[in-house]
């Protein structure tokens, strides 16, 4: 019987036949796909023909189709709908895949052919995109250690394999801590909580098969609990569990894993001749160097910390008015900040939430994409990997563009956070293929599902990533969609968040869940007026995490990352009542893989650009100015990584922005 993952998919738009795929299919499918890829690589490396762009670089682009298919399906379900079998497969696959790709990068015959094409590049009549792909291919081999030999080559292979294992263990430990912890709540414990929080707590209790409502470590549940629960003791207990993820001792503790990961990264960079892992990692980013990253972050830190300290004084006074002495604690901040926002802006999250229905916010994100780029969305009735998922065909002028899948609800089998992935990326070589793009979020379930304003912003953010994938229009998959510098990849997503705050968008789509009435003009004004509320807190918790990440990788690896974290925060003068957004034991951005290691700053680097990019629309004909929209698609969204990121932004805006736009956008300096 043919393995359903490897068989021809007789499905609409060649979507994976999830209803026919069993967990037992993954291992044999991967084994077959790896064997096929090895044969393809051998044919390229051992070819008797003189090396050319076509028989080396394009051949590498065309190779691995079956492997891409297997991994696209597997990592989709492993991240969003895990189970013990999939976790075991992930632990087995990680070193297997690391070893496979290490073999490719260490293939001397293959690297010699890549290098030969690279040396002859001036004599080849290549397009700009082909020149870019050749450069990235050659650079990728060099940075992977292709030029190493002997003991250094063998050690590099060991390091890559071990890092793959450790990243998987870190992720699974974090998922286990998030999945296993919950706090039983009595009916009295629900007092003072809005209906949407109590409903979510009851639903979580049913999922955990508890006797009643529970508090879990899902961000969409714990944050509103911290905002609204008048029970300081329960807030403290929930907060401590939240920040202790990955640091509870026992088999799910991530602290030793983080230590080993940092040491191995330092060794890896040294083998390649770099002073530090941060120097190695940032070489290919817009920032280029640790010093430029630190300079940006410190420019933002000072005004953010000053604002946070001012806010802490106000919140402390409010707490003391409640008869609570002592310092403001981290489990107090959300609660008193929510009360302050209601007092100063008369904006109540509980009153706002019925106007932010999930379905209406999805419609809003689609409607903006339609007005900006002419995209249309038609629901699809197809088998997906979980009943919560839904799918749409994306078209423009009647032409198929992509399939978009939304997986919006929190569940125990899904890792926390929100992300966008492409199960299939756009390309024209070796054959045309339209993308299949997935947005994964962790919103609380409800009937109807209601979002916080931050949730709604997350939805728009992830859809901005999806647009980057869907509107990609390049030849080669290696530079398609979000295959760009890490500190540029967040530009389209953070830029798209701005459209949520366009008054006419909220006026049309923010309608009450029960009455259907649009959000009152007065409330809309308050929502937009409060957009920068608590930015001192939000900026401090983010920048602190980014600076700790940089400190971990810029220099010798710390023998005790927790001590290094404490040292960095002390040097910064971290406010007592604010914790890092991601403390080391649950800093998945940095330790689940190399993606954001030395790169967590990239959200802020991109925000410097997104604030200025949206200003381009405002300076033109407004948020939906057609000329600016066309320029955004032509210069940024459609081009993927086919050109240097800095060149793409310059082509769109005509100049590079300064940090002032970000500070003004966050309300940290006067506009």
Q: How confident is the model at residue 81 (pLDDT cuts 50, 70, 90)?
A: very high
CATH architecture of residue range(s) 252-347+535-600: Orthogonal Bundle (1.10)
Give CB contacts under 8 A, 24+ apart, made by 265-273. 265/163, 265/553, 265/557, 265/594, 265/597, 266/553, 266/556, 266/557, 267/155, 267/159, 268/156, 268/159, 268/160, 268/163, 271/145, 271/148, 271/152, 271/155, 271/156, 271/159, 272/143, 272/145, 272/148
pLDDT for the residue numbered 642:
98
Q: What is the pLDDT of residues 490-511, one digit of tens each?
A: 999 999 999 999 999 999 999 9
Q: What size, in residues, is the chain?
A: 671
pLDDT for the residue numbered 457:
96
Q: How confident is the model at residue 658 (pLDDT cuts 50, 70, 90)?
A: confident
CA 114 from centroid of its chain's CA atoms: 32
pLDDT beyond 90 at 531: no
Asked whether 488 and 286 are in contact (CB, 8 A), the reply is: yes
pLDDT for the residue numbered 446:
87
Is the peptide bond between 430 and the residue preceding it cis, with omega within 30 degrees of 0? yes
User: Out of 1.20.120.80, 1.10.1370.40, 3.90.79.10, 3.10.620.30, which CATH number does the structure's domain 354-529+603-665 have?
Assistant: 1.10.1370.40
- Mean pLDDT over 162-178 rounds to 96
pLDDT beyond 90 at 349: no
pLDDT beyond 90 at 28: yes
* Pairwise CA distance, residues 187 & 199, whole Å: 12
Lowest mean pLDDT among 120-124, 192-196, 236-240: 192-196
- Mean pLDDT over 355-374 rounds to 98
Q: Do domains 12-147 and 252-347+535-600 have the same CATH topology?
A: no
Q: Which DSSP letter does residue 58 get? A: I
436-443 and 182-184 strand pairing: unpaired
* Pairwise CA distance, residues 170 & 585, whole Å: 8
- Six token digits for residue 639: 């081009």
182-184 and 214-216 strand pairing: antiparallel
pLDDT for the residue numbered 256:
98
pLDDT for the residue numbered 73:
97
* Pairwise CA distance, residues 432 & 429, whole Å: 6
- Mean pLDDT over 401-424 rounds to 95
pLDDT beyond 90 at 671: no
**Residue 438, H or E segment:** strand 436-443
* Pairwise CA distance, residues 415 & 412, whole Å: 8
- Mean pLDDT over 230-257 rounds to 98
Q: What is the pLDDT of residues 469-494, one digit of tens each?
A: 999 999 999 999 999 999 999 999 99
User: How many C-beta atoms surround the C-beta of residue 399 within 10 A?
Assistant: 8
Q: What is the pLDDT of residues 581-622, one digit of tens each?
A: 999 999 999 999 998 999 999 999 999 999 999 999 999 999
pLDDT beyond 90 at 576: yes
Asked whether 176 and 245 are in contact (CB, 8 A), the reply is: no
> Helices 602-619 and 486-497, interaxial angle, to 10°?
50
User: Out of 1.20.1050.40, 2.30.30.90, 3.40.50.720, 1.10.1060.10, which CATH number does the structure's domain 12-147 have?
Assistant: 1.20.1050.40
Query: In b/e form, how buried is each residue of 302-341, taking b as 16+ CB within 10 angstroms?
Result: ebbbebbeebbeebbebbeeeeeeeebebbbbbbbbbbbb
328 backbone dihedrals φ, ψ, rounded to 5°: -65, 130
Query: In b/e form, how buried is each residue of 358-375, taking b as 16+ CB within 10 angstroms?
Result: bebbbebbbbbbeebbeb
* Pairwise CA distance, residues 541 & 463, whole Å: 24
Active site residues: 462
Domain boundaries in the chain?
12-147, 181-245, 252-347+535-600, 354-529+603-665
* Pairwise CA distance, residues 114 & 124, whole Å: 14
pLDDT for the residue numbered 383:
96
pLDDT for the residue numbered 18:
97
- Mean pLDDT over 188-202 rounds to 94
* Pairwise CA distance, residues 548 & 614, whole Å: 30
419-424 and 390-396 strand pairing: unpaired
436-443 and 399-409 strand pairing: parallel
Q: Is the dihedral of CA 455, 460, 461, 467 positive or negative?
A: positive
* Pairwise CA distance, residues 68 & 435, whole Å: 13
pLDDT beyond 90 at 670: no
- Give the rounded percent of residues in the chain with a pLDDT score beyond 70: 100
Q: How confident is the model at residue 416 (pLDDT cuts 50, 70, 90)?
A: confident
Helices (H), ranges, 348-475: 349-352, 358-373, 453-470
pLDDT beyond 80 at 189: yes
Q: What is the pLDDT of residues 313-346, one digit of tens each?
A: 999 999 999 999 999 999 999 999 999 999 999 8
């Amino acid at each position: 019987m043919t393995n359903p993952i490897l068989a021809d998919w007789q499905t609409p738009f060649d979507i994976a036949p999830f209803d026919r795929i069993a967990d037992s299919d993954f291992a044999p499918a991967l084994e077959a796909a790896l064997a096929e890829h090895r044969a393809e690589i051998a044919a390229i490396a051992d070819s008797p023909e003189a090396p050319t762009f076509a028989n080396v670089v394009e051949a590498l682009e065309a190779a691995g189709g079956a492997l891409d298919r297997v991994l696209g399906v597997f990592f989709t379900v492993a991240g969003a709908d895990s189970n013990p079998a999939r976790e075991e497969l992930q632990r087995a696959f990680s070193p297997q895949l690391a070893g496979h790709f290490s073999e490719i990068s260490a293939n001397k015959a293959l690297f010699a052919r890549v290098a030969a094409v690279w040396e002859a590049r001036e004599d080849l009549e290549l397009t700009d995109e082909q020149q870019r792909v050749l450069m990235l291919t050659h650079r990728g081999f060099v940075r992977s250690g292709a030029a190493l030999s002997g003991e250094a080559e063998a050690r590099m292979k060991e390091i890559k394999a071990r890092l793959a294992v450790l990243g998987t263990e870190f992720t699974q430990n974090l998922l286990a801590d998030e999945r296993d912890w919950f706090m039983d709540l009595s009916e009295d414990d629900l007092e003072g909580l809005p209906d949407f929080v109590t409903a979510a707590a009851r639903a979580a209790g049913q999922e955990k098969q508890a006797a009643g409502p529970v508090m879990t470590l899902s961000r969409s549940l714990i944050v509103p609990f911290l905002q609204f629960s008048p029970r300081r003791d329960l807030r403290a207990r929930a907060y401590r569990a939240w920040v202790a993820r990955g640091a509870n001792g026992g088999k799910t503790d991530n602290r030793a894993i983080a230590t080993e990961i940092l040491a191995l990264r330092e060794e890896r960079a040294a083998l390649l001749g770099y002073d530090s892992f941060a120097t190695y990692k940032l070489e290919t980013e817009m920032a280029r160097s640790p010093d430029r990253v630190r300079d940006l972050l410190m420019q933002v830190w000072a005004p953010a910390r000053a604002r946070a300290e001012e806010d802490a004084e106000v919140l402390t006074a409010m707490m003391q008015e409640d008869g609570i002495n002592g310092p403001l604690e981290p489990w107090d901040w959300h609660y008193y900040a929510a009360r302050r926002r209601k007092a100063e802006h008369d904006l109540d999250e509980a009153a706002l939430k019925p106007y932010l229905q999930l379905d209406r916010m999805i419609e809003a994100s689609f409607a903006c994409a339609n007005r900006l780029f002419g995209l249309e969305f038609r629901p699809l009735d197809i088998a997906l990997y979980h009943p919560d998922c839904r799918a749409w065909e994306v078209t423009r002028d009647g032409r198929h563009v992509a399939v978009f899948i939304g997986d919006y609800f929190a569940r125990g089998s899904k890792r926390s956070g929100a992300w966008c992935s492409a199960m299939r990326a756009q390309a024209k070589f070796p054959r045309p293929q339209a993308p299949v793009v997935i947005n994964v979020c962790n919103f609380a379930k409800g009937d109807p599902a209601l979002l916080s304003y931050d949730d709604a912003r997350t939805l728009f953010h992830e859809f901005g990533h999806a647009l980057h994938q869907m509107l990609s229009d390049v030849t080669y998959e290696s530079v398609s969609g979000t295959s760009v510098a890490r500190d540029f990849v967040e530009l389209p997503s953070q830029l798209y968040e701005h459209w949520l705050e366009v008054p006419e968008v909220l006026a049309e789509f923010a309608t009450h869940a029960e009455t259907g009435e649009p959000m009152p003009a007065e409330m809309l004004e308050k929502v937009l007026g409060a957009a920068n509320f608590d930015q001192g807190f939000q900026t401090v918790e983010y920048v602190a995490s980014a600076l700790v990440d940089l400190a971990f990788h810029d220099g010798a690896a710390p023998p005790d990352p927790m001590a290094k974290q404490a040292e960095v925060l002390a040097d910064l003068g971290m406010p007592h009542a604010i914790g890092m957004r991601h403390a080391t034991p649950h800093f998945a951005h940095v330790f689940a893989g190399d993606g954001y290691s030395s790169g967590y700053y990239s959200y802020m680097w991109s925000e410097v650009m997104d604030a200025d990019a949206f200003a381009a629309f405002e300076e033109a004909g407004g948020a939906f100015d057609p000329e600016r929209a066309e320029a955004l698609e032509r210069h940024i969204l459609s081009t993927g990584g086919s050109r240097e990121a800095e060149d793409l932004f310059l082509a769109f805006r005509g100049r590079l922005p300064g940090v002032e736009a970000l500070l003004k956008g966050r309300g940290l300096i006067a506009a």
